[in-house]
Amino acid sequence: MAAPRTSLRLVAAIWSTRGIHGRGGAATPEGSQKKGKTLLQFLSDRFYDVEFLREYFLQRQMLKVHQKNRSFTHMVEQYGPYIVGACFILDQGGMVKFQNNDWIGPKERGRFALEFSKFQEVSVEAVDASGCAINYEGLDNLLLLRNLQSLSLRHCPHVDDWCLSRLYPLASSLQELSLAGCPHISERGLACLHHLPNLRKLDISDLPAVSNPGLTQILMEEMLPNCEILGASWAQGLNVEPEEQPQDKASPVHV
């Protein structure tokens, strides 16, 4: 009786993990580890072939991200840095704003492709790469945009602390930076933003890897005195009892 029941459970498990190819090896959320053993896990524990296949698929996923972030820098001589940088961002599915122009999104790529020669001398002033698969290598292309004033990297799954340490070439121009929702950014990478003294606005809300959001924000404000930092409230990360949590802003906080 017991045997068929376990097999039933395993069958159910395989259906629930259909999305196994969907999650990247590097970006595996830790929560998914807590689920029970799936059939694939069970099989790969016992058969080398299954384990090997799964490893192969994992490697292929990572390769895909690398290919998406390959360097466009060989095109710089022909088209100029702004076109190449904009092409890269549009290719990734982000949006670009040239100086004195409207936002160009992936939908208007056709129009951009037709008249891109017009933009060759115009610098890019804003980039919105929300949700793009940019990683450390892809930044090569982004850093070509020397007059970039506003950069949004919201919810980018592959942006990490190493990437933040690489933004310093944009120090002279960058004024706005949004890092909200990036799963791999921690306070260690945020500390590197002291290379960007011209920042006026920084969004660091919703960063799950930051261990102490409130304290981090205070320290960031100390480090970048001219910058408005959005994000965590000071009480975030403190263990405030639910009944003690300030319900209305006017009442004093009991600590």
Partner 1 sequence: MLRRVLRLASGRALVARALSTRRGGSTPDRDGKVSEIKKKIQSILPGEPWNPLYDTSHLPPERSDVVIVGGGVLGLSVAYWLKKLENRRGAIQVLVVERDHTYSQASTALSIGGIRQQFSLPENIQLSLFSANFLRNINEYLAVVDAPPLDLQFNPLGYLLLASEKGAATMESNVKVQRQEGAKVCLMSPEQLQNKFPWINTKGVALASYGMENEGWFDPWCLLQGLRRKVQSMGVLFCQGEVTRFISSSSHMKTTSGKEVTLKRIYEVHVKMDHSMEYQPVECALVINAAGAWSGQVAELAGIGKGPPGTLQGTRLPVEPRKRYVYLWHCPQGPGLEAPLVTDMSGAYFRREGLGNNYLGGLSPIEEEEPDPGNLEVDYDFFQDKVWPPLAQRVPAFETLKVRSAWAGYYDYNTFDQNGVVGPHPLVVNMYFAAGFSGHGLQQAPGVGRAVAEMVLEGHFQTIDLSPFLFSRFYLGEKIQEHVII
State the DSSP H helix or E strand holding residue 163, giving kind and residue range, or none if neither. Answer: helix 161-164
Which residues between 62 and 121 bind partner 1 (CB under 8 A)? 62
Tokens of 239: 């263990």
Q: How far apart are CA 12 and CA 23, in angstroms?
A: 19
Q: Is the Cβ of residue 26 or residue 235 nearer to partner 1 in the bound state?
A: 26
CB of 194 to partner 1, least distance (A): 4
Single out the residue of 13, 14, 27, 43 in contact with partner 1 (rule: CB under 8 A).
27
Site for partner 1 contains 164 (CB under 8 A): yes
| Chain centroid offset of residue 211 CA | 17
Site for partner 1 contains 205 (CB under 8 A): no
Site for partner 1 contains 194 (CB under 8 A): yes
Which residues are CB-contacts of 182 (< 8 A; sequence separation ≥ 6)?
A: 153, 154, 155, 156, 157, 159, 160, 207
Tokens of 76: 């710089």
Single out the residue of 8, 9, 16, 55 in contact with partner 1 (rule: CB under 8 A).
55
Single out the residue of 99, 130, 147, 165 in contact with partner 1 (rule: CB under 8 A).
165
Q: Pick from 213, 134, 212: which is nearest to 167 by CA?
A: 134
Single out the residue of 119, 179, 216, 231 in contact with partner 1 (rule: CB under 8 A).
216
Site for partner 1 contains 200 (CB under 8 A): no
Q: How far apart are CA 76 and CA 239, in angstroms?
A: 52
Single out the residue of 99, 131, 136, 173 in contact with partner 1 (rule: CB under 8 A).
136
Site for partner 1 contains 240 (CB under 8 A): no
CB of 41 to partner 1, least distance (A): 5
Q: How far apart are CA 223 and CA 150, in angstroms?
A: 20
Which residues are CB-contacts of 160 (< 8 A; sequence separation ≥ 6)?
A: 135, 136, 182, 184, 185, 189
Calculate the CA dihedral of residues 247, 249, 251, 255 and round it to 10 degrees: 70
Which residues are CB-contacts of 128 (< 8 A; sequence separation ≥ 6)?
A: 94, 95, 96, 97, 103, 152
CB of 145 to partner 1, least distance (A): 18
Site for partner 1 contains 195 (CB under 8 A): yes
Q: Which stretch binds partner 1 (CB under 8 A): 22-30, 67-75, 113-121, 245-253?
A: 22-30
Q: How many residues bind partner 1 (CB under 8 A)?
A: 39
For the chain, helix (H) and strand (E) counts, in that order, are 10, 7
Q: Which stretch binds partner 1 (CB under 8 A): 85-93, 99-107, 183-191, 199-207?
A: 183-191
Site for partner 1, rule CB under 8 A: 25-28, 30, 33, 41, 44, 51-52, 54-55, 58-59, 62, 136, 161-162, 164-166, 168, 186-192, 194-195, 211-212, 215-216, 219-220, 222-223
